């Protein structure tokens, strides 16, 4: 998967300076970060709507659009895919694989100066998470 996203990222970088009349990527990048962020949000909403509707094929199609728009935004902000993977690995070392870092600090036992113990992969499916108000 990372190879596919790396290829997509390189393609986005190559397309950003093309003629906006001929390249959707160049046109989107010319419209600015606000438009890119709006397109990303729209695609995320479409994925969610299709998921609620139980349409797996539509989720696949919209997820591809979501990943494309996320990659365009990364390129605009000089965020490289490897930066994101490094953050995911950092989180895994701290907490195990989870949906995101908790909003409140988590106490993590240290094993040696500067090192945190590796945690196992944790399943989060089926867990009920309540939002604080």
**SS3 call for 112:** strand
pLDDT at position 8, please? Answer: 96
Q: What share of the chain is helix, strand, coil (3-state, %, to 5)?
A: 60, 0, 40
CATH class for domain 2-79? Answer: mainly alpha
Residue ranges, the chain, pLDDT below 70: 1, 98-133
Q: How far apart are CA 71 and CA 74, in angstroms?
A: 5
Domain boundaries, the chain: 2-79, 96-133
- Reading phi first (left if > 0) and then psi (alpha if -120 to 50, else beta), residue 71 is in alpha
The CA distance from 2 to 72, in Å, is 16
Q: Quick one: pLDDT at residue 114?
A: 59
Supply the pLDDT for residue 7: 95
């Amino acid at each position: 998967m990372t190879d596919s996203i790396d290829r997509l990222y390189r393609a986005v970088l190559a397309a950003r300076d093309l003629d906006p009349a001929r390249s959707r990527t160049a046109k989107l990048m010319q419209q600015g970060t606000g438009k890119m962020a709006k397109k990303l949000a729209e695609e995320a909403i479409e994925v969610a709507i299709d998921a609620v509707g139980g349409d797996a094929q539509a989720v696949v199609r919209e997820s591809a659009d979501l990943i494309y728009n996320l990659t365009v935004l990364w390129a605009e902000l000089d965020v490289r895919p490897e930066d994101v993977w490094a953050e995911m690995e950092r989180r895994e070392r701290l907490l195990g694989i989870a949906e995101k870092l908790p909003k409140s600090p988590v106490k993590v036992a240290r094993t040696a100066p500067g090192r945190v113990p590796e945690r196992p992969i944790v399943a989060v499916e089926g867990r009920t998470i309540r939002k604080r108000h």
